[in-house]
Amino acid sequence: MTRAQKIVVAVASITAIPTATWPANAQSKRTDGLAAWQRVYSVLTHPRCINCHTATGYPQQGDDRHRHGFNVVRGQTGMGVPAFTCAACHQRVNADSTGVPGAPGWHLAPLSMQWQDTRDQTMSSGAVCKAVTDRSKNHNLDGASLLKHHEEEPLVLWAFQPGRGLDGSPRSVPPLTHAEFVAATRTWVEAGVPCPTR
Amino acid sequence: MGRGRGSLPDTVEGEIIVATYALTVNGRQAEVDVDPGTPLLWVLREHLKMTGTKYGCGIGACGACTVLVGGVATRSCLLPTSLVGNRSIATIETMASDPVGRVVQDAWVATDVVQCGYCQSGQIMTAVALLKTVRKPTDAQIEQSMGGNICRCGTYVRIRQAIARAAQQLG
């Protein structure tokens, strides 16, 4: 083999490895990321989460996601109105003796983070994903910040320990544990927060 | 027996766990021994004999039990005593000596708001909370802030007139 032939072989072997495997790896990662997103989506659209991600001027209650009782309204900050705030009933922890859920900073998600339409219909996986990853809508959170939000935000944590209702029965919880939810979020983030088209 | 604010329950009387809570109600210290889950409403009415705060529905739906906890209009029927913490409590009994409360009560009288009166202490407490937060509330702010207080006599129109009158008085 001539020197020129050796160089050609060497270059070909250097370039052949990544060009042959990288797209497959990337595709696999994206597939894994999309699958992980579907698991994240299953949590986000559970009533414990989506009840406060409404498109309307009020939150929802219960597993049937009915309109919150007592004429509760969103207000400008998502914490109710001046003399009728969320804190009128919701404390920093669950009040199981009176059946009122609670966590620090109880409030509605901003309208930009609505995961349902104005007819209370849950938005598609692709639409929710698009909203969650749109930094003009999500308080400028990148993937790492979204992961941190899912790991630490008190209201997210509450969804997995939602306490008991007025009748003493435990509230239903999302389909994943918090650890599974965080793991799925991590996989999705590491895949570059891919979103399904629908 | 535990002492101090919000002490953990460490006493058992029969099968009922009792804890001691030091509360500040209308500027006065009060110590009560109750089950941690006892709603503040019952501490006020039964233990401290302050019956101005009313029991209406018991589920936060009517607003009759509204008091100020840390300055926030709060449904006392839903607030376990164990969660009051260090926050001061103000009830209808102290509103006559509160600068905003006095004006609101005067406006209530001048507007002849009350019919049966059962809900009115809650109505006044919510109105006071509103005017302490927003001195010149809009009609929409009044409507929304008072939206959780029910009046079976239907005195809503006069309640809103009285709030507007009080806001004017407070300048």
Q: Is residue B5 part of a domain?
A: no
A63-87 burial string, b = 16+ CB within 10 Å, else e?
A: eebeebebbbbbbeebebbbbbbbb
pLDDT at B12 over 90: no
Q: Best of B76, B138, B145, B163 to disrupt the A interface by mutation (most A CBs within 10 Å)?
A: B145
pLDDT at B11 over 60: no
Residues of A in contact with B72 (CB under 8 A): 85, 87-88
Mean pLDDT of chain A: 92
Residues B124/B80, Cβ–Cβ less than 8 Å:
no
Residues B43/B53, Cβ–Cβ less than 8 Å:
no
Same domain (yes/no): B72, B114 = no
Which residue numbers of A have CB closer than 8 Å to B's CBs? 69-73, 75, 81-85, 87-89, 91-93, 95-100, 102, 166
- Amino acid identity of residue B169, one-letter, is Q
| pLDDT at position A4 | 57
Q: Is residue B4 part of a domain?
A: no
Same domain (yes/no): B17, B65 = yes
Residues of B in contact with A81 (CB under 8 A): 141, 144-145, 147
Half-sphere exposure for B113 (CA within 13 Å, toward CB):
28
Total domains, chain B: 2
- Amino acid identity of residue A182, one-letter, is V
Chain A nearest-CA distance from B115, in A, is: 22
pLDDT at A95 over 70: yes
Residue of B nearest to A101 (CA): B78
User: Could you tell me which residues come within 8 angstroms of residue A102 by beta carbon, excluding any fewer than 6 positions away?
Assistant: A90, A91, A92, A93, A94, A95, A158, A163, B83
Would you call B36 and A71 a contact, using CB atoms and an 8 Å cutoff?
no
- Please name the member of B59, B66, B80 whose beta carbon is closest to the beta carbon of A166: B59
Confidence of residue A68 (pLDDT cuts 50, 70, 90): very high
User: Could you tell me which residues come within 8 angstroms of residue A133 by beta carbon, excluding any fewer than 6 positions away?
Assistant: A143, A146, A193, A195
| pLDDT at position A20 | 53
Q: Among all chains, which residue has been given the structure tokens 């309204």?
A: A73
Q: What percent of chain A has pLDDT over 70?
A: 89
Which tens digit of pLDDT belongs to each residue from B60-116? 999 999 999 999 999 999 999 999 999 999 999 999 999 999 999 999 999 999 999
Same domain (yes/no): B127, B155 = yes
More confident residue, B11 or B119: B119
Which tens digit of pLDDT belongs to each residue from A30-66? 999 999 999 999 999 999 999 999 999 999 999 999 9
Would you call B147 and A87 a contact, using CB atoms and an 8 Å cutoff?
no
Domain residues for the domain of B51 are 11-90
Same domain (yes/no): B80, B109 = no
Least confident segment among A1-15, A156-170, B80-94, B116-130? A1-15
Same domain (yes/no): B86, B100 = no
pTM over 0.80: yes
Would you call B72 and A88 a contact, using CB atoms and an 8 Å cutoff?
yes
* CATH for B101: 1.10.150.120
Which tens digit of pLDDT belongs to each residue from A118-159? 999 999 999 999 999 999 999 999 999 999 999 999 999 999
A17-41 burial string, b = 16+ CB within 10 Å, else e?
A: eeeeeeeeeeeeeeeebbebbebbb
pLDDT at B10 over 60: no
pLDDT at B8 over 90: no
Q: Which of B90, B124, B146 is the last residue in one of the domains? A: B90
Alpha carbons B92 and B105: distance in angstroms, whole number: 10
Secondary structure element (H or E) that encloses residue A160, with its range: helix A154-160
Q: Is residue B107 part of a domain?
A: yes
Confidence of residue A23 (pLDDT cuts 50, 70, 90): confident
pLDDT at B4 over 50: no
Kindly provide the residue ranges of all beta strands, DSSP E only, lying in chain B, ordered along the sequence.
Answer: 11-13, 16-25, 28-34, 66-69, 72-75, 89-90
Same domain (yes/no): B30, B68 = yes
Residue B161 in tokens: 């007139």
**Secondary structure of A4-56 in the HEC alphabet?**
HHHHHHHHHHHHHHHHHHHHHHHHHHHHHHHHHHHHHHHHHCCHHHHCCCCCC
DSSP letter for each residue of A104-155? TT--PPPGGG--B-TT-PBPPHHHHHHHHH-TTTTTT--HHHHHHHHHH-HH
Q: Which of B71, B90, B109 is the last residue in one of the domains? A: B90
pLDDT at B147 over 60: yes
More confident residue, A130 or B171: A130
Q: Which of B45, B73, B90 is the last residue in one of the domains? A: B90
N residues, chain A: 198
User: Is the torsion defined by CA of B54, A91, B60, A88 positive or negative?
Assistant: positive
Q: What percent of chain B has pLDDT over 70?
A: 91
| pLDDT at position B6 | 44
| pLDDT at position A26 | 83
Chain pair A-B, CB pairs under 8 angstroms: 84
The ipTM (two decimal places) reads 0.90
pLDDT at B15 over 70: no
Same domain (yes/no): B58, B111 = no
Q: Among all chains, which residue has been given the structure tokens 């006559």?
A: B96
* CATH for B37: 3.10.20.30
Confidence of residue A25 (pLDDT cuts 50, 70, 90): confident
Same domain (yes/no): B50, B98 = no
Residue of B nearest to A80 (CA): B145
- Please name the member of A71, A93, A96 whose beta carbon is closest to the beta carbon of B148: A71
Q: Is residue B6 part of a domain?
A: no
Residue B117 in tokens: 């009166």
Residue of B nearest to A74 (CA): B144
Confidence of residue A17 (pLDDT cuts 50, 70, 90): very low
